[in-house]
Structures are given as C-alpha cells and as structure tokens.
C-alpha cells in the first residue's frame, strides 16, 4: 500500500500562500510528476481539493469524484495550475477506483478535454506511462480528505473575515 497525506507545503512561487498538498510515500505529487516529466511544467501545481477552486460546479465535480461509490471508477481532477484555479489550465486527472477497503489511483494523466462544462472534464486524458498505480488504505484516504475539508473551512472563515 502507498501512503497519502494532506501536508502543508510551501509554494514554489512567492506570490502564492502555503497550501495543503498531496504527499504520497513521502514525496510531493507535483514534484514527482515534474521529475518524471521535466517538460510538463507540473511543479507548483496545487490540489483541486481547495477553497480557491474558482467555480462551484468544478468544486462539486472534484468532491463527487475523489471518492467514488464502492466498485465504481471516476476520472477526478487532482492537480491544477495555481494561476487560474479552474479546469481551464493545466489539469492532472486520476482514475480513481473504490474497492471498499482501499482506493486505487489506477492511472494519472493530463486532461485534454476541450469542453468548458465541468462534468465533461476527464473525458479525454493523455495517461502518463512513467507513474504506476497508487493504492491507499481507505482510512488513510479518508483522513487525507478530511484534512482538506478542515482546511477549506478555515480558508472560508479567513476569506469572510478578510472581506468584513
């Protein structure tokens, strides 16, 4: 089994705040993708499980697909460009399968969907061939998701206080 955690990470760019990031087996997912695909500009991509995801319909797609129903498979956006915070820029997709006692990211790839409708995202993906399947204990996976949810609530509160 692989380990997955939501850990506070320092942004690679000074203009962005620190953020929760996917740490898998002790590495940051964006940095691992950048190492495997150095011309893909993956370093600095941020998780889609954040309050700053610009469109509500896109946020709903992410949270609906990140943990499919048991024995179902989804194509979930997991990393995005921090410049736009939406599905319109660089977007990494995971094929997520729920086996009940574990979750598998069967494959990971780059979204090539050209349509702007949030529900269509992940319908066309160029799958990476240098990163294999990732298998996570369901309890670890749910803990990671809960950590993102807690951070989203804190971010919402901070945004409300800043605009008041």
Residue 87 lies in a domain: yes
The rounded mean pLDDT for the chain is 91
Beta bridge partners of 80: 46, 91
Tell me which residue of 44, 45, 136, 54 sits closest to 98, measured CA to CA: 136
- How confident is the model over 84-143, as pLDDT tens digits? 888 988 999 999 999 999 999 999 999 999 888 999 999 999 999 999 999 999 999 999
Contact partners, residue 158, CB within 8 Å, separation at least 6: none
Residue 52 belongs to what domain range? 45-163
- Given a cut of 90, whether residue 164 has pLDDT beyond it is no
Antiparallel, parallel or unpaired: β 102-111 and 91-98: antiparallel
pTM higher than 0.85, yes or no? yes
- Non-local (6+) Cβ contacts of 143 within 8 A are 5
32, part of any domain: no
Tell whether 28 is covered by a domain: no
DSSP 68: P
Asked if the structure places residue 79 within a domain, the reply is yes
Asked if the structure places residue 72 within a domain, the reply is yes
Q: Is residue 150 part of a domain?
A: yes
Average pLDDT rounded to a whole number, residues 28-47: 94
- Token digits for 56? 């509500």
- In the chain, the number of structural domains is 1
Answer yes or no: is 133 within a domain.
yes
């Amino acid at each position: 089994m692989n380990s997955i955690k939501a850990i506070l990470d320092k942004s690679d760019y000074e203009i962005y705040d620190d953020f929760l990031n996917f740490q898998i087996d002790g590495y940051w997912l964006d940095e691992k993708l950048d190492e495997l695909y150095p011309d893909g500009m993956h370093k600095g991509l941020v998780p889609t499980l954040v309050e700053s995801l610009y469109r509500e319909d896109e946020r709903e797609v992410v949270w609906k697909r990140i943990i499919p129903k048991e024995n179902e498979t989804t194509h979930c956006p997991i990393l995005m460009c921090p410049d736009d915070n939406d599905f319109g820029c660089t977007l990494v997709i995971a094929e997520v399968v729920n086996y009940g006692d574990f979750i598998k990211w069967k494959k990971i790839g780059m979204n090539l969907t050209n349509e702007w409708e949030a529900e269509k995202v992940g319908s066309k993906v160029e799958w990476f061939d240098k990163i294999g399947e990732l298998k996570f204990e369901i309890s670890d996976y749910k803990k990671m998701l809960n950590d993102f949810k807690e951070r989203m609530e804190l971010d919402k509160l901070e945004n409300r206080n800043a605009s008041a």
